Structure 1
Amino acid sequence: MRVGSNPEKGKHIQDKFYHRIIVPIYVPHLNDYFKFGLNFTKLCIESLLKTIHAKSAITVVNNGSCREITTYLQELYTKGKIDQLIHFKSNIGKIDAVISIAKTTSEDLITITDGDVLFKDGWIQEVEKVFVNFPEAGMVSPVPHGTLFMTHTSNTIFDALLKGNLKFQSLCDQEEMLQFANSIGRQSSMYKNKQFLENQLTVSRKGFSAIVGCGHFVSTLRKEVFKHTPNQKSKLAYAASADRDYIDQPLEKAGLWRLATVGNYAYHIGNIPENWIEKEFLKIQSSEKEELKIPNSKRIQIPYFIKHFIVNRLLLNKFVRPVLFDFLGLKKEK
C-alpha cells in the first residue's frame, strides 16, 4: 500500500563533482607479502583525503580484502569520508573492478590509482593544470617517467610535432625519478641508459610544459576514453595486456595525448615500510584546495592508426629515430 506521492519524484539531481578517484584495494590477508597491507592502505587513503578538493570524490573498491581492511573501509564510508564503497567477496581483478565504474560515472576526469600510492600536496591541481593547458590530453600522471615517451604515444608525438611544441628538455628531479625506480625494484635497470634520466621528451605551450608518456599505477583519464573500451570483462587478476586493452588502446583510439606532470606528486610505497614514507606523509597539509575549470577535449581529426603508422613505423624506426631525436634537442653524442 502506498499513501501520498514520493517527494523525490521528478527532482533533478545536480552533479557535485567533476573529478572521481577510483581506488581498488586487494589485501586478502595480513601475512607475508601483505603483512603491512593495512598500514599502506591507510596511508594511501589518508593522503588522498588530505589532498583532494571539494569537487572531487573517492570511490573505493574492496576487491575481496580481509576483515581488517573491510572494517577500516566501512568506517571511512560510515563517517562520510569517501563517497562510494563497493564490496566484492573475491578478487575480480584491477581492471574489471574499475572499468565498469569509469564507464558509468558522471565525472569528466577519472583517476585510477593502485592502493599503495602516497599522494603529495598539489597532485590533483598539477594534473588538472595539464588538462587545462593541453586540452588534447586524455591521460595524465602525477609521476614523470623518462622512459615511456615511445609507449602508446602516437597521438602525442604526431600532433605535437605538427604544432611545433615537442622537444627534449631537462626538467624533472632526477632523484625522485630514481626513487620511483627503486620503489618498484628496478633501480638498476630503468635508467641504465642515463640519457632519459637526464633528458625528458616534453610538450610546451605558453611557458607550461608536460612530460610525454606515463605509466598506469596512478593516472587521470578523461571519461570519453572509456567509450572505446571493450564491452566484455577482462577476467584477469592483473596483467599488462589488461592495461593495454582497457586503457592504452582506448586512449589511442580516442585520439588524445598521454602526458605526465613535470614535478613528482605521488610515490609508489610498495609493501615494505621505509623511514621516508612516514616523513613524506607528515609533510602533507590539509587545507582548501584549488578547483580548476577543465576545458573540453581537443584533437587533430586524423585516424589514430594513421598516426600510429607514421610515428612508430616511420619516425621511430632505428634509422630515422637518431635524426628525429637530434632535431628535438637530444644530441647524437647522448
Structure 2
Amino acid sequence: MGGDHGAETVIGGAEIASIRHPDVRFLIFGDEATMRPVLDKYPRAAAVSEIVHTSVSISMDDKPSQALRRGRKTSSMWLAIDAVKTGRAQAALSAGNTGALMAMAKVILKTMPNVERPALAGLWPTARGESVVLDLGATIGPDAFQLVQFAVMGEAFARVIFSLERPTVGLLNIGEEEVKGTEQVKEAAQMLRSAGLPLNFHGFVEGGDISKGTVDVVVTDGYTGNIALKTAEGTARLIVDFLRSAMSSSLMSKIGYLFAQGAFRALAKKLDPRASNGAIFLGLNGIVVKSHGDTDAEGFAYAIDVAIDAAAADLVQKVAADLALLDGFQPTRGAQTPNSTTEESEAAVS
C-alpha cells in the first residue's frame, strides 16, 4: 500500500520475481478492494499469493511516531513485519514510509545483542562489481562504537551476499590521512584497529573509492550515506539522459548508435538504479527490506531478490554470530554528536 505507485508496483514486482523464484510464496498485506483487481491482472503472482486484508495503511507523510500510534497492530506495514516475528514469513518488504518501517521493525523484531542502532545496508555498483554500503539513512549521527557495529554487520552481509571469506572494510572519510575526519570517524578507526576483531580493515576511503570498488564494505553514517546514494542515482540518470540526447542529436549520431546499440544497452543496464534496489535493515532479529518508493515493478522485483537471498542465506543468524565477537568489548567513548534514528528523525531515505 506504500510507495509512490502503490499496489501496481508491488504486485507487478511479485509477478516478475515469481518467474525467477518459482518456489516463493507471497503474503500481500493491505486493502483487498484495492489489491484484488491488480492481482487479477498478474496470473503468476495471483497463483502464489495470499491477500491479508486490512483497511489501515501508513502514508508516506506520516511521522514515525504517528505511524506507531495509528498503525500499531492493525496496519499493513505492522502486520507484514509481525508475520516475520511469528514465522509466517521469512522476510518483510515495503516500498512505504522508511521512518515508519524502521520504527515498527524495531518495536516488533527488537535489535540484536551488541546492536544499539540498526543500519540500512544496500548494494552499490562499482568498477569491480558491487560493494555493500551502510548506513543509507537509518541512523543519523552514530557515535564511534556504533560505526564499529555497522562495520561488523556490513562485513557479515558482504560475506553472505558475495561469498567472500574476508571482505575488506573501509570507513568513509574526507581523506585517507589519519588526522582528517570527525572525531567519531577517527575513534571508530582506532577501535577497529585495536579491538582484535577478525575484520580485514582497509582504513579510510574517500567518496570516489565507493564507485571504484576499493573495498567490499563502505561504512558511514546515515546522513552522509543517504546523500551519497541519492547523488549517485541522480548522476546515473543524468548520464543516461545525456547519452540519449547525444545519440539523437544528428543523423551521424543515429547511425553510430545503430552500430553501437549493444554497448549502449549494456551501459544503460549497468547504470540502472533499479538493479541495485533493496536495502536491508541490519541488526534486527528478522529480515526487513526497504525498496525505493519511486521504483517500478522491475525495481521492486530486484528488492524481492534481496529479501529472498538474505532469507536463504540465513543472514540474521550469521550477523548475530559476528556481533557476538563484540561481547565484553567496552570502548572508551569520546566526543559524540546527538544520536537519532528514523524513528525520531524525518531525515530518512524514502
Instruction: Establish whether TM, by shorter chain, passes 0.5.
Output: no
TM-score in terms of structure 2 length: 0.35
